[in-house]
Structure 1
């Protein structure tokens, strides 16, 4: 039992690390956010389709009642990705990722409404720790600041991400994680298809290696592992543990983009890491 928990926890943390590469790649790729997300989705869709076929994963949707929730969750995922990339481009990787990581608090309050489970007051404490960490990391509040605009986009992205997770949580026991992400990327590809005709796509020729990396590492592998982990953890537990993602993102941004973290980054990051450790221990006992 203990070895299974360590294995499942390691898979969740690995998924978190892969997803955290979206911060550096989203900031670095020189194309409009909507265009990046379309190419990210279409390449990830191809990768996931090949993976599912090789692994003989059933791609059939088991009930017509599942189609509408799949479509709605895919739309929320599209909005989440686009607004998150807006947050990255308006501000920096640290602010974009950390504002997104208010989503565990949102999930803690929304989960009982979506999944009809008893609300756990401990999630308020852990969520407040994450919020305090984000508050320490955030810049001085100024509505005219590009950083504040990045935070607002990040908060809206967090809300969309929370709703998408809570919708998918109801189906993860019935479907493979790769299969669910295949349909998510298919829906996003269809929804964002018009951007190819109204936005500048000329930068793709020079940027495609980074878009491919974003599609394969971050999306196809990272998000499939994340969806798979929901079989073993509650949504609140998975989201709070994955709050280590901004720390990974900040380190990667320092290495590849030379974004130097401040003292506040270390203090706020420590609070977030402490929350991850506490929830990891708690989830093991459950």
Structure 2
């Protein structure tokens, strides 16, 4: 591939990660009931992705046997967002995003269970490292401590996200990723729509610009760019670059919300991100000979 084109593609991948990273600051800023925020995010983002699919002439057909999987994936994605936003609301951008980033280690443990493959010892070691990182994130293991509850919600969010990714893994080669995302957003919108009738929606208009940013920039554009980048880079490369997501998110929080992480948070976050880098490099080392054989 031409070096200039590769550079443009790499910039595009980093832009995708940057846009997705805005979820932390926007989640902290938007002071609406969380089900309303997520419902609006899904509705507006779903409309944007629907128009994109129409523009690209992507077929909207989903086989009957796959619809249940897509619906469950949508419910898990909605739970992932809701618990993540509760984590952000209880603490700050740094703790919320770093506790969510335990999902690669959780994926490494859950995937063998769901897909009936062997659990590797390295994954157990990396999971222990993640627990060490979580220990540094939580200053006090007390149910009355907001940071403790925030990490709990963040890890639960990571569990939902990892499970959703695993169950959709078998469908990603059959359907366009944007289409799957659009249907999941439709599921979330339908499930959360009843909350609009009994939760406070009086401030929706005031926070509509920020919600539009969350729906369009973070969700529709960010995730679409990321999916597009997978055409030019391996998932391993994308995973390594994704390690910058909490860093971007914390910097955005520092600039716009004046939130500065504590030293213990930085140490815990560094340990968690290190586990992702180690696993990504391990996968790269295994897959590289196979790639060379295909050339």
Q: What does residue 26 of structure 2 align with? A: 25
Deviation at 1:2, TM superposition (A): 12
Coordinate RMSD, CA, aligned: 2.8
SS in 1 for 2:207: helix
Secondary structure of 1:192 counterpart: helix
Superposed counterparts of 1:1-286, under 5 Å: 14-61=15-62, 63-226=63-226, 232-233=234-235, 242-285=242-285, 286=287
TM-score by structure 1 length?
A: 0.87
- Does the residue aligned with 1:199 lie in a helix, a strand or coil? coil
Shift of 1:98: 1.8
Cα displacement (A) at 1:116: 3.4
Check conservation: 1:104, 1:127, Cα contact below 8 A: no
Flag structure 2 segments of 5+ consecutive residues without an equivalent: 288-295
Who wins on radius of gyration, i.e. which is larger? 2
1:35-70 deviation per Cα after TM superposition (whole angstroms, max 9, x unaligned): 000100000001101111112222211x21000000
The alignment partner of 2:213 has SS state of helix
> Quick check: 1:5–1:284 contact (8 Å CA) kept in 2?
no
The total of aligned residue pairs comes to 283
C-alpha distance in 1 between matches for 2:221 and 2:265: 28
Query: How far did residue 265 of structure 1 move?
Result: 3.2
Q: 2 CA distance for matches of 1:127 and 1:12?
A: 27
**What CA deviation, in whole Å up to 9, does each residue of 1:217-275 have, x standing for no partner?**
211123345556778437xx976763442222111111110001222233333334434
| Kept after mapping to 2: 8 A contact 1:98/1:246 | yes
* Pairwise CA distance, 1:193: 0.6
Tell me the CA shift for residue 156 of structure 1.
1.6
